[in-house]
């Protein structure tokens, strides 16, 4: 069953996020594709952005994607990645975490897309997660952004952390959190929950030293240090 007051908390967070901008709002992976490019190219750029974003801040991912879009011959396309030497690609994406591994993933993915998907990206969860380095979080976000398919919730470390802090679930992994959230959160909120909580996690509900004093839902949060202080005083 849905956790108590989840809808109140959700609405308060949504209202707060309308007023407070976070890095994800301007530099999130769903915003990095070149909107003037062909739709197939846009879908590829969305996938690349998400593949680069793992364990990397939005500010860094955004800068690297823009560099690829402007420095590669013909821009960031399937063809430009196929034509590029893996070592050269590795050097271009060096600011992102695990860049060498991701360069290998991108090269192998480009070959798979060329050989198996007519140069486009898969439009199914199974197809996307079969690509090197693409897990459920990336796959569900790619489906939502690139294909407008709302098949699941993209759960990253922010969504996982905050959902557990709020008492919305009691899980140990992002995948467990996804399953738990999807069991009660209305489907029309699945797409919005990721940017909502990611942005909140970037500016308020930080991994360390959460800013509970400026949190709009601290009175509903079991993990709030404000409640802890009040209880101690009592």
Active-site residues: which are they?
137
What the block records as the tokens of 61 is 């991912």
Is residue 113 within 8 Å of residue 120, measured between CB atoms?
yes
Candidates 43, 7, 27; CA nearest to 149 is 43
The two tokens of residue 9 are 């908390």
Beta-carbon contacts of 6 under 8 Å, excluding residues fewer than 6 positions away, are 166, 168, 184, 185
Class of residue 192 by CB neighbours under 10 A (exposed 0-12, middle 13-18, buried 19+): middle
């Amino acid at each position: 069953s849905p956790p108590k007051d989840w809808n109140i908390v959700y609405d308060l967070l949504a209202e707060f996020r309308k007023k407070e901008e976070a890095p994800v709002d301007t530099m999130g992976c769903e915003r990095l594709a070149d909107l003037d490019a062909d739709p197939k190219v846009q879908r590829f750029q969305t996938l690349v952005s998400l593949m680069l974003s793992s364990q990397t801040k939005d500010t860094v991912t955004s800068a690297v994607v823009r560099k690829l879009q402007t420095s590669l011959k013909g821009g960031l396309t399937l063809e430009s990645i196929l034509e590029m030497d893996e070592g050269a690609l590795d050097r271009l994406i060096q600011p992102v975490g695990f860049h060498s591994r991701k360069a290998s993933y991108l090269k192998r993915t480009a070959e798979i897309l060329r050989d198996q998907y007519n140069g486009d990206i898969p439009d199914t969860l199974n197809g996307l997660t079969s690509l090197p380095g693409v897990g459920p979080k990336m796959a569900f976000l790619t489906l939502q952004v690139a294909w407008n398919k709302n098949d699941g919730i993209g759960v990253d470390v922010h969504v996982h952390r905050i959902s557990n802090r709020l008492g919305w679930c009691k899980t140990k992994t992002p995948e467990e959190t996804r399953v738990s959230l999807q069991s009660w959160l209305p489907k029309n909120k699945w797409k919005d929950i990721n940017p909502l909580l990611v942005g909140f996690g970037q500016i308020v509900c930080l991994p360390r030293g959460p800013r509970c004093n400026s949190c709009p839902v601290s009175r509903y949060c079991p993990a709030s240090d404000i409640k802890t202080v009040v209880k101690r005083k009592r």
